[in-house]
Amino acid sequence: MNAVPVDFSAASLLAGSPSPLGATWTGDGVNFAVHASGAARVELCLFDDSGEHELVRITLPERTENVWHGFLPAPHGVPGVVYGYRAHGPYDPSYGLRYNPNKLLLDPYARAVVGKFQWNPSLFGHLPEQPTEQINTADSAPYMYKARVVQSEFAWSEDCPPAVPWRDTVIYELHVKGFTKLHPGVPERERGKFLGLAQPAVVNYLKQLGVTAVELLPVQAFVPEEFLAKRGLVNYWGYSSLAWFAPHPDYGVEDPVAEFRTMVKALHAAGIEVILDVVFNHTVEGNEKGPTLSLRGLDNAAYYKLDSTNLSRYVDRSGTGNTLSIGHGAARNLVIDCMKYWVEEMHVDGFRFDLAAVLGRDNAPFRTDAAFFKAVANEPSLRYVKLIAEPWDVGPEGYQLGRFPAGWSEWNDLYRDTVRGFWRGNPGILGNFAERFAGSSDLFRASGRRPTASINYIACHDGFTAYDATAYEQKHNEANLEDNRDGHNHNLSWNGGIEGSTDDPAVIEVRERQIRNLLATLLLSQGVPMLLAGDEFGRTQRGNNNAYCQDNEISWVDWSLAERRSWLTAFVRQLLTLRRYAAGLRRDTFLKGARQVDREHKDISWRHPLGHELNAGDWHDANARAIGVLIGHAFTDPYGTPNGHLLFLCNAGDQPCDFRLPAPTTGVVWQIVFDTSRWRANDLGDRLGAGQNCVVAPHSCVLLADGDAPSTIRSGFSLKT
C-alpha cells in the first residue's frame, strides 16, 4: 500500500466524475462520488492512517443529478487514503429527511473499513432518550468506522472459477471465524481469519470430504447491535451489515481485502467455489430510533422503505427495524454494483440472499418479475453465478418458497422439516417424505425449474445442528441472555430418551443411527445438498438453536470431535463418493416414475415392506413408518448407457421391519452398501436375491445395489475406521 501524506492542508478537489460511485483510484488521483439526493452540501472528511484523527474537510465541488462528486489529485489522492462523509441538509423526519452533518457517514461503496466501531450516544442523529425530532449535535467521528481507498490490483495469475454445474454441487455452510478458530492445522495468527481458510490443512480437508462449494456466513463488514453490546455479546453470525463492499475487518490479519482474495484463490485451486451469504434486506441502522451511520444520513428516503402514512417511521419486513427500498433505483443499483464487485474484483462464485423475499417486493407484493430480478438477469457478469434465495421475509405473504425466477435455487426448509419429522417418527408423512426425497417437484416443476432449484438441508446455522437434532428436544438458549425466549420451538428433533449429553450406551447408539439416517437421506436425495460445517462429525451447540450472539466454544467448530467420530466423517465422505458415481442421484430433470424402454425398473418407485409399490391406501396410512425407494438407472456404463439400481430402505419405527426385495437385474443379486444400524456394513458379506427379505433394524436405513452397479459401490461402506 502506498504511503499516504499526513499533511492535507494543501489538498483541493477538482470536479471529478459522478461515476462510478465510491472512491476510485484512477492512477493519478482518487475520484469520490456519493448519492445524496436531498443534501444541500456534502463534505469529504480526510483522516490519518489510523482513522483516529480528522485532518481536513473539503466540500465536494460538483453535483450531477443526485450524485455529489470530486477528484483528489495525487499526491494527496492515493490508495490508502482514509475518509468519510458529512451530509448537510434538512433534518425533518416527518418528511423522511435525516441529514445531520455532525454524523460521520461511511461511504456505502467503501471497499475497506478502518478503525474501531464503538457504540456511543453521538452515533444517533437524534438526542438519545428524546423524541427523534430533536437533532443531536454531538460529533460521531471518534466512534465510527472510516473507509479506506483500495487499489484493485491483485496477483490472480491463472485463477479460474471452478464453474461446477448445479447438478454436481455439494454446498458446505461455514463461518469464517468459527471453522478455523480451534483448528490445530492453522497457525495461531490466522485462526478465525480469511487466511485460515486458505491453509492447506483446511482446503485439503474440504476437498477430501467431497464438497464443491463453501457458503460463507456474512463476511461483509458488520457491527453488533447496541442491545447486544450492552449485554457484552456480539452479532457472531454477521447479519447486521454496515458496509456491503468491504470484507469484515476482524477476519483480516493485516489487509482483509487481499487476504479474502488469497482465500478465494486457494479454494479455487482445489476446485471449490465460494458463495457469499449476503444481507441486502436491511442494515444495522435499525428503525427510527437507530443510529445514523451511512445510508440514513446520505439519502434516508431513497435507501429505506418508509411508512407512507408516517414518513418518520420505517417499514420492517426484516424483523430488524428497517427494510432496504429495493424498488428505488439508488438502492437497487447499490446492490447490483456490490454483487458485480464481489464477482469481478473478488472472484466469488455466487450469493445466498438472506430474507430474499424482500428483493422481490419493489413497492408492492412479491413478484417473480420484480425489477431486482430483471436487473440481475441483465448483468453479463452475474449471468452465470449461483443465486440462492432464503425464500421468505417477515412481511405480509412473506413465505415464497418455489416462487423465485428461473435460474435461482432456494433453501428448502420443507425438506429439512419433512426429513427430520420422518426420522423422529411423525405420523402420516410418507407422501411428503417421497416428494422431498425426489426433488420437490410440487414446488418447482410447474414453473419449468429443475430439481437443482431445491437446496436440501437437514441443518444450517439457524437452528439445531444435525447432532443436536438427535440429542435435544428443547432449545437451550440461556447463554443468549433472553431467558430462553429467543429461537424457534419447532425443532422436529428426538433425543432418544435423554435430554442432552449422556453416557447411556443405548441412547448413544440410537443417536448415532439417527445422524447417519439424516445424512444418508440428505446425500441420496435429488436436489442440491447442503451440509452444515461439522455435521460430518457431529458438532454440537449444546442445544442452542439460535447461537447468533455466541462467539465462543458454543459456535466454534470443535475439531477434537473429528478424531473421536472419524467413522461418521468417513461415512459422509463415502456417501459423497457414491453421489459422484451415481448420475441418477443428481438429475437435471424430475423423476417421472416411468419405465425406460428395455429397462426392468422405473426411474423411481416407492415400495411397501411387503414388496409391492405403494398404493393410495399405503400413502395415507398414518401408522406407516417404513418406505423403500427403488432408484432405477442410478449409474451409467462407460458408453453412457444407464444401468444399475439402488434400493434405499428406511425404517423410522421402533421395531424391525422386513422388506421383501424386488427383482434385481437378471442374473444378479442385491448387495448391501451400508446399514446404519451396523458399524461395518460389508463385513457380513450380505447378498440378497429377489423375493428374499432384508431386515431393517429400528431407526435405521439400508442401501442396496444390484449387480450392474460399479463394484466399488457394491463392496460397501466401512462405517468405522
Same structural domain, 571 and 639? no
> In terms of pLDDT, which residue wins out, 1 or 712?
712
Q: Note the pLDDT tens digit of each residue in 142-151.
A: 999 999 999 9
Pair type for strands 82-88 and 146-148 = antiparallel
Q: Can you give the residue range of the structural domain that contains 505?
A: 168-583
Q: Which of 113, 148, 183 is the last residue of a domain?
A: 148
Q: Which residue type occupies 14?
A: L
Residue 17 forms part of a structural domain? no
Same structural domain, 662 and 576? no
Same structural domain, 407 and 518? yes
Which residues are catalytic, by number? 354, 390
* Torsion sign over Cα 456, 348, 3, 195: positive
Residue 661 forms part of a structural domain? yes
Mean pLDDT calculated for residue range 663-670: 74
Pair type for strands 454-457 and 213-216 = unpaired
Residue 687 forms part of a structural domain? yes
Residue 431 forms part of a structural domain? yes
Residue 593, pLDDT above cutoff 90: no
Q: Note the pLDDT tens digit of each residue in 159-214.
A: 999 999 999 999 999 999 999 999 999 999 999 999 999 999 999 999 999 999 99
Residue 442 forms part of a structural domain? yes
Same structural domain, 496 and 572? yes
Cell representation of residue 245: 463492499
Q: Note the pLDDT tens digit of each residue in 503-557.
A: 999 999 999 999 999 999 999 999 999 999 999 999 999 999 999 999 999 999 9
Same structural domain, 572 and 598? no
Same structural domain, 554 and 646? no
Contact by Cβ (8 Å): 293, 330: no
Cell representation of residue 626: 417404513
- Rounded to 5 degrees, φ, ψ at 181 are -60, -35
Computed over every residue of the chain, the mean pLDDT equals 94
Same structural domain, 626 and 710? yes
Same structural domain, 553 and 626? no
Residue 8 forms part of a structural domain? no
Same structural domain, 304 and 444? yes
Q: Note the pLDDT tens digit of each residue in 360-394.
A: 999 889 999 999 999 999 999 999 999 999 999 99
pLDDT at res. 247: 98
Same structural domain, 608 and 702? yes
pTM of this structure: 0.96
Q: Is the peptide bond before 20 cis (omega within 30 degrees of 0)?
A: yes
Residue 398 forms part of a structural domain? yes
Residue 595, pLDDT above cutoff 70: no
Q: What's the number of domains the chain is made of?
A: 3
The crossing angle, in degrees rounded to 10, of helices 256-269 and 200-209 is: 40
pLDDT at res. 721: 38
Contact by Cβ (8 Å): 104, 144: yes
Q: Note the pLDDT tens digit of each residue in 231-246.
A: 999 999 999 999 999 9
CATH number (domain holding residue 624)? 2.60.40.1180
Residue 155 forms part of a structural domain? no
Band (707; pLDDT cuts 50, 70, 90)? confident
- Rounded to 5 degrees, φ, ψ at 14 are -90, 180
Q: Which residue type occupies 28?
A: D
Q: Note the pLDDT tens digit of each residue in 75-132.
A: 999 999 999 999 999 999 999 999 999 999 999 999 999 999 999 999 999 988 777 7
CATH number (domain holding residue 543)? 3.20.20.80
Same structural domain, 106 and 181? no
Show the 3-state SS of 89-156.
CCEEHHHCEECCCCCCECCCCCCCEECCCCCCHHHCCECCCCCCCCECCCCCHHHCCEEECCCCCCCC
Same structural domain, 202 and 294? yes
Q: Which of 120, 148, 176 is the last residue of a domain?
A: 148
Residue 283, pLDDT above cutoff 60: yes
CATH number (domain holding residue 74)? 2.60.40.10
Q: Which residues of 362-383 are buried (b: 16+ CB within 10 A; e: fewer)?
A: beeebeeebbbbebbeeeeebe
How many other β-carbons are positioned within 10 Å of the β-carbon of residue 428? 13
Q: CA angle at residue 245 from 244 to 248, to 5 degrees?
A: 75
Q: Which of 524, 549, 583 is the last residue of a domain?
A: 583
Mean pLDDT calculated for residue range 695-716: 84
pLDDT at res. 497: 96
